Structure 1
Amino acid sequence: MAAEPDLIIPLHYFDNNTMFTSITMHAIMVYDEVIDPEKLRTTLSQLVERETWQKLGARLRKGKNGHDLHVPRKFTTTRSAIAYKHVSLDMKKAKHPAASRIPSSKSAPKDRPAIVGNPEDWTELCCGADAPKTSSDYVGSDRPITGLRVVSFKDATIVNLHWLHIAADAMGLKAILDNWMLVLQGREAEIPLQHGFDEDPLRELGLHPTETFDLAGSELSKWGTASYALRNGYSIAIGKKENRTVCIPALFMKNLRKVAHQELNDQGRKNQFLTDNDVITAWFSRLAFSHLPPEKPVTIMQAMSMRRALEQDLLPPGTPFVSNCHSFTSVLRTKKEVDQSLGLLAGDIRQGINKHGTRKQIEAYCGRVRANAWPLGPMPVFFGQSNMHHIGYSNWKKAQVNLVDLSAACVSKRDTPLHPSFVSQVQGGIAYPDGFIITGEDAQGNYWLEGYRPGGLWLHVEKLIEEDITS
């Protein structure tokens, strides 16, 4: 009897852009214990095989209006729910030339930040030499859009959950991880259905703005975009890029927060609320702009999840929406203005997030995304001047990858949680320069940041960090 045809689901509107089809995401978690790889494979497969979650096992195909997801009606050994690869190495992790370069929370600096590694050193080990990168690696095969790679050592395990970006953003990843852990712990009955499985709940988002976006008039025009592309196209598409991992110790963060709040108080902005993200973004942006002349226009852009704001009308509260659901906020300054005060910059970043994260501003922003969607799809809108230096951030702290507890999958029984000793976020495909991911906060309170920069620019950051610059 012939197999039942796949269920065909068109990509959601905001998933279907050139950026998301050009990037495969790898959430890499390193554990200092031996974990059963088969238990990881079977439990993740069980999650993906569940009703509404089976979308994560879809195959990507070219459709009439871009890409479509083809979901098998039934997963089999020949058409599995996830892509899977297990590599077993008969040695301790410290003896492997690449694995030995991976930093950890145990070896993290205690009182000052440091550049502690280069993700390129462990990418091939953790992701595989044949890892998928862009949509073409999926369309031309029967590969599921979600995959798992496990590398086993005698004393450690590397777990890499990877997916084509069209499937999920950071908070989508959190939903996957949280519910995978429920399967692993035998709590399948607690797993909710996904919202927006085969229909797009955001299909009209941006079509009904009631106010103007706060930064309207500052976005790059088509000519400005062309000018920006001409100035920066080489470094984005072809030029040499360097990746680094930065550890920001808990003690240093405590001091940074004190400096930021004191500077705000000194400027009369007493008791202004700041998150760690605001302080980190302000602190690192000043380092990233350090090579620029004083009058250079700069833009600090951050991704923001829209889920909480959209729970007012489009997304039911407490129900996972595994897709891409984020907008952006930007702060426009000159390099000289950025240098004036860590606290003021952190405060301005917080004010931008508060202002641009309202339901009405999200509607207005998404309207501008729709207006500029041709020809690359609904891409982020860039704000600033055509000669600006632009940097972007995505903060994964709320995804809590650093706190994923795999104790239930340990080969040796244990009664305490097992968290990663290190988390790395590797992107296959486009490596956007000066795009940084705050990968999260570990169990010791240290923050970790990774990102690509055009060749040579990490040297400026390293020099300032070595000089112990805190404000």
Structure 2
Amino acid sequence: MDKDIPSPRRGEMDDDVYPVHLLDNANDYRNLFMSYLFRFKDILDSDKLADSLTKLLEIGDWRKLGGRLRLKEDGQLEIHVSQSFTTQRPAMAFTHDTFSESIETHPLGRGLPQVSGTNSPSVQKLSTDLRPFAGSPSAPKTIKELIDRDAPILSIHVTTFTDSTVVVISWPHVLMDAMGLQALMRNWSLVLNNKAASVSPVLGTQDDILQEADSQIQNNDKRQELAVEKLAPGPLGMAYLVLRFLWLMLWSPGFEERTILLPQRHISQLQAQALGEIAGKDEHEQKPFVSEGDVLAAWAAQILAASQPRGPMTVANFINVRFRLSIFQAAGGEYIQNLLQFVYAPLSLQSLAGPLGPCALSYRKHMAAQSTEEQVLGYLHMQREHVKARKRLRLIFGDAGASMLTVNNLAKIDFFRIVDFAPAVVGEGERLVKGACNGQDASHIKDASHVKQTSRANPPGTIVYYHPLVLNKPSVLTSHFRVLGKDHAGNCWLTGTFPARTWGGFERALESL
């Protein structure tokens, strides 16, 4: 361990103690228990998965993720980690189910989106609640349950079918965001591939990097006005919003979660359309640009707007400050914590009802204005002060009369290529089904080398789909749109939670592509 990195202090039973940093302690994160579901078209050795993850959590300050939560006298959380992991006090909770049938025939497995023959755009309704994939219903799903049971922070549940494996990793949101999970999955893959020497160190486990970043703005005499403050509703607006949320709790329009498959050619078509609609007339002028992410967010906002009473909309988009602050550029390691920011794009009725290009450009301009280093530093300072005073994040911005859409673009995380569990593959399910020996069923075969080889889009040990879940699922009061990223076939996977009537708009939009 680097001598400049503070060592964890000692606590009860000679445990190492890691603090839970200020923003991670916010009630907004305390109230969420997350899971990410990863689907493989391979049969994986669960013992190899468990052993390799344990080895990772024994390296340096990766040990923090193998700890238990404790509540201090002042109400703040901290993490206690034993000096060594044992069967009585393991690094994580690891459970495993095996079914002697295909994933497509199992009642829970067939509830997942269809990933075979996916070369056309589609909207797929989840046919069942996927949370049982995360393990026993009695497993901890709250901070209190974790503390009361002295349970590990991380839990892994593996479900093995005759042709597929589903791996679900669960954790309380106070531990990390999705980029923290990406770091975990990437370094887990390294250990599994016998590359433990290449594992990145975990940084900022004792001293909060955001406190250091915050000191920059406090010492800056020329700090900028925070752009998002211009969108803050006044007292009357806040009162209206409270009444509106109460109404939604009583008269929810009925939100449904579905998955969208959008092949690359259709994304390129949408982006080309948008760029054509905003192209400058003067060839000497700098041409405006909108990214695929901008176009997808605007596309979803326009479809939502068309399915509800006419009016403005505020699009709240997650960004990760790891990519926005210079303090992270030469980090040389992983920050396993929550490093998220909301940026808000108020979209007018005219923008929502007009061409796609100008709507995407308006969205992009609002995102850019709130994402500069100075603005991000100001936002973090505002949130830190708010959490100190009220124990929660300040998240309500925008026109009180506008509808709301939350957007989370996870494409940069690229789980489809980051996860590499190839050494744990004991059978390639896709080939076992498509390339059965002499036409016989080969689902029982453990060694894929005995099976006729057929082409597959993704390398063995990589995922074909993933799905974020909230285990202690709260009431849905606003629409959500999530970009998962592109699989090895170039298909973009999207998920959304929208009123049922909005999904008809998505289906019609896909038919017109």
So what's the TM-score if we normalise by structure 2? 0.83
CA gap of 1:211–1:3, structure 2 versus 1, over 3 A, is closer
Shift of 1:77: 0.8
Amino acid at match of 1:407: A
CA gap of 1:222–1:119, structure 2 versus 1, over 3 A, is farther
Shift of 1:464: 4.3
Amino acid at match of 2:226: F
Show the counterpart of 1:21. 30
Show the counterpart of 1:299. 314
Secondary structure class of the residue paired with 1:252: helix
Task: Say whether the 8 Å CA contact 1:29–1:158 is kept in structure 2.
Answer: yes
Show the counterpart of 1:50. 59
More displaced 10-residue stretch of structure 1: 100-109 or 75-84: 100-109
Alignment partner for residue 308 of structure 1, among 305, 311, 323? 323
Alignment partner for residue 83 of structure 1, among 80, 83, 93? 93
1:406-448 CA distance string (max 9 Å, x none): 2111014679543222211111224443133222211112222
Amino acid at match of 2:112: I
- Cα distance between partner residues in 1 of 2:343 and 2:132: 33
Show the counterpart of 2:201. 193
- Residue 108 of structure 2 corresponds to residue 98 of structure 1: yes
Show the counterpart of 2:6. none
Secondary structure class of the residue paired with 1:197: coil
Task: Say whether the 8 Å CA contact 2:351–2:358 is kept in structure 1.
Answer: no
Shift of 1:206: 4.2
CA gap of 1:380–1:246, structure 2 versus 1, over 3 A, is farther
1:260-286 CA distance string (max 9 Å, x none): 111111677863333221111111111
Shift of 1:39: 0.7
Shift of 1:375: 6.3
Matches within 5 A, 1:406-425: 406-412=421-427, 416-425=459-468
- Residue 419 of structure 2 corresponds to residue 377 of structure 1: no
Show the counterpart of 1:274. 290
Alignment partner for residue 336 of structure 2, among 311, 315, 322? 322
- Cα distance between partner residues in 1 of 2:332 and 2:227: 29
Shift of 1:330: 1.0
CA gap of 1:299–1:188, structure 2 versus 1, over 3 A, is same
Shift of 1:388: 1.9
Task: Say whether the 8 Å CA contact 1:224–1:386 is kept in structure 2.
Answer: yes
Show the counterpart of 2:420. 405
Matches within 5 A, 1:253-268: 253-265=267-279
Task: Say whether the 8 Å CA contact 1:43–1:184 is kept in structure 2.
Answer: yes
Matches within 5 A, 1:148-227: 148-206=156-214, 208=217, 210-221=223-234, 224-227=237-240
CA gap of 1:47–1:116, structure 2 versus 1, over 3 A, is same
More displaced 10-residue stretch of structure 1: 170-179 or 57-66: 57-66
- Residue 484 of structure 2 corresponds to residue 439 of structure 1: yes
Show the counterpart of 2:256. 242
- Cα distance between partner residues in 1 of 2:166 and 2:18: 33
1:12-39 CA distance string (max 9 Å, x none): 1111112211112211111111110111
1:71-102 CA distance string (max 9 Å, x none): 22221111111111101112121221121232
- Residue 24 of structure 2 corresponds to residue 11 of structure 1: no
More displaced 10-residue stretch of structure 1: 257-266 or 65-74: 65-74
Secondary structure class of the residue paired with 2:271: helix
Task: Say whether the 8 Å CA contact 2:39–2:466 is kept in structure 1.
Answer: yes
- Cα distance between partner residues in 2 of 1:424 and 1:418: 17
1:42-92 CA distance string (max 9 Å, x none): 111111121110111121222214222222222111111111110111212
- Cα distance between partner residues in 2 of 1:244 and 1:19: 25
- Cα distance between partner residues in 2 of 1:221 and 1:79: 51
Show the counterpart of 2:456. none
- Residue 363 of structure 2 corresponds to residue 349 of structure 1: yes
Task: Say whether the 8 Å CA contact 1:4–1:73 is kept in structure 2.
Answer: no
CA gap of 1:377–1:221, structure 2 versus 1, over 3 A, is farther
Alignment partner for residue 465 of structure 1, among 487, 507, 511? 507
Secondary structure class of the residue paired with 2:18: strand
- Cα distance between partner residues in 1 of 2:339 and 2:231: 23
Shift of 1:196: 0.5
- Residue 71 of structure 2 corresponds to residue 62 of structure 1: yes
Show the counterpart of 1:72. 82
Task: Say whether the 8 Å CA contact 1:292–1:335 is kept in structure 2.
Answer: no
Q: Please tell me whether Structure 1 or Structure 2 has the larger radius of gyration of its CA atoms.
A: 2
So what's the TM-score if we normalise by structure 1? 0.90
CA gap of 1:458–1:219, structure 2 versus 1, over 3 A, is same
Query: How many percent of aligned residue pairs carry the same amino acid?
Result: 24
- Cα distance between partner residues in 2 of 1:368 and 1:355: 17
1:352-397 CA distance string (max 9 Å, x none): 3332222111111123323433665341432212222111111111
Shift of 1:235: 3.8
Secondary structure class of the residue paired with 1:121: coil
| Consecutive unaligned residues in structure 1, runs of 5 or more | none
CA gap of 1:381–1:392, structure 2 versus 1, over 3 A, is same
Secondary structure class of the residue paired with 2:174: helix
Show the counterpart of 1:284. 300
| Consecutive unaligned residues in structure 2, runs of 5 or more | 1-10, 428-446, 450-458
- Cα distance between partner residues in 2 of 1:98 and 1:267: 54
- Cα distance between partner residues in 2 of 1:354 and 1:237: 36
Amino acid at match of 1:165: H
More displaced 10-residue stretch of structure 1: 264-273 or 227-236: 264-273
Shift of 1:120: 4.2
Task: Say whether the 8 Å CA contact 2:347–2:363 is kept in structure 1.
Answer: no
Task: Say whether the 8 Å CA contact 1:150–1:158 is kept in structure 2.
Answer: yes
Show the counterpart of 1:121. 129
Show the counterpart of 1:360. 374
